[in-house]
A = this chain, B = another copy of it.
């Protein structure tokens, strides 16, 4: 029963309500470490009732996009378009970029599962790749998450831009999902001099700013590629609250700088906290770590029994992604669980 529940929890992060149903005896409150979302959310300003009542004005949407361009960068000749979450941009990309039915798309794996799901749903054939393909590969499009979720694999921005220029010159399309690039800004194609036609860069406000509930992301494309995105998204893709909150958050350089430092420190603390479990760090970003178990345990189940939801994967049963605890109480709960998860391997290693 609980191992079936643990299997269900491996499909997606953030399902803390399902976890609580599956493990009714687990201590409360649940600590959700199953996502890569910053647990320290940008503070929500007082929102005027008008933000909920009327459509965002054209000037407000322009200001939001300008704030995003300031924060992320935006190459000459490129445009920034808001989306109601980056998830829907992932879902729309196959339809915008290709005659998706029958398209051949390469995907650098393992990675966030919605990309493959979106392309398959659109009728494309997905090819799982472990590295950038040759420019003459028999593919119509390529998807890369940079830095990657869950393993943090990173492709240097200059190398990727050079690849993108050749790839797209061959008439192919490139999706670069930079959902976690806020903590690796040097990787972003948006800091580069130009965005070739055929490249789509996706950004997420939810992860770094801890505002997943706001549902706001951005698509950045060469201006010549913008019309089909505008056609699909319409004029009011960002909500009034999203517009007001994110415009402020993206311009809050002091918060952004301090948060990058804090997340880096918290990530180091996460590694130290998990050390007693015998898990081996094998990647991640400053928003989450990926760890490998060499002891055959079902750690989704083990941590869930203690009221801590972590992320397991169907594709690699011995790997686990841990997000960051949001406060001292959560850190202490995690430390306590880790203390109970000492392995014989770890014990013997310690005994050596």
Chain A residues proximal to chain B, CB less than 8 Å: 12, 14-18, 32, 35, 37, 39, 41, 44, 49-59, 84-85, 87-88, 90-92, 95, 114, 117-118, 121-122, 206, 210-215, 228, 231-242, 245
Determine if B50 and A213 form an interchain contact, defined as CB atoms under 8 angstroms apart: yes
Q: Which residues of B contact A213 (CB under 8 A)?
A: 50-56, 239-241
Q: Which residues of B contact A37 (CB under 8 A)?
A: 53-55
Q: Which residues of B contact A14 (CB under 8 A)?
A: 54-55, 57
Selected from B84, B118, B212, the residue in CB contact (under 8 A) with A55 is B212
Distance between Cα atoms of A91 and B210 in the complex (Å): 29
Q: Which residues of B contact A114 (CB under 8 A)?
A: 234
Q: A58-B17, A84-B84, A84-B85 are in contact. Are A52 and B214 (CB under 8 A)?
A: yes
Determine if B49 and A44 form an interchain contact, defined as CB atoms under 8 angstroms apart: yes
Chain B proximity of A48: nearest CB distance (Å): 10
Chain B proximity of A87: nearest CB distance (Å): 4
* Number of copies of this chain that the complex holds: 2
Q: Which residues of B contact A245 (CB under 8 A)?
A: 52
Determine if A57 and B233 form an interchain contact, defined as CB atoms under 8 angstroms apart: no
6 A-B pairs with least C-beta separation: A213-B240, A84-B84, A121-B231, A215-B239, A41-B53, A87-B234
Q: A117-B231, A231-B121 are in contact. Are A52 and B84 (CB under 8 A)?
A: no
Closest chain B residue to A39, Cβ basis: B53
Chain B proximity of A264: nearest CB distance (Å): 21
Determine if A53 and B236 form an interchain contact, defined as CB atoms under 8 angstroms apart: no
Closest chain B residue to A241, Cβ basis: B241
Distance between Cα atoms of A49 and B17 in the complex (Å): 17
Distance between Cα atoms of A121 and B235 in the complex (Å): 14
Q: Which residues of B contact A211 (CB under 8 A)?
A: 52-53
Determine if A215 and B236 form an interchain contact, defined as CB atoms under 8 angstroms apart: yes
Determine if B41 and A49 form an interchain contact, defined as CB atoms under 8 angstroms apart: yes
Q: A51-B213, A52-B245, A210-B53 are in contact. Are A235 and B18 (CB under 8 A)?
A: no
9 contacts between A and B (CB under 8 A): A15-B58, A16-B57, A17-B57, A55-B206, A84-B88, A88-B233, A95-B232, A114-B234, A213-B240
Q: Which residues of B contact A237 (CB under 8 A)?
A: 84-85, 88, 215
Distance between Cα atoms of A262 and B221 in the complex (Å): 46
Q: Which residues of B contact A87 (CB under 8 A)?
A: 234-236
Q: Which residues of B contact A15 (CB under 8 A)?
A: 57-58
Chain B proximity of A242: nearest CB distance (Å): 7
Distance between Cα atoms of A50 and B213 in the complex (Å): 8
Distance between Cα atoms of A227 and B121 in the complex (Å): 9
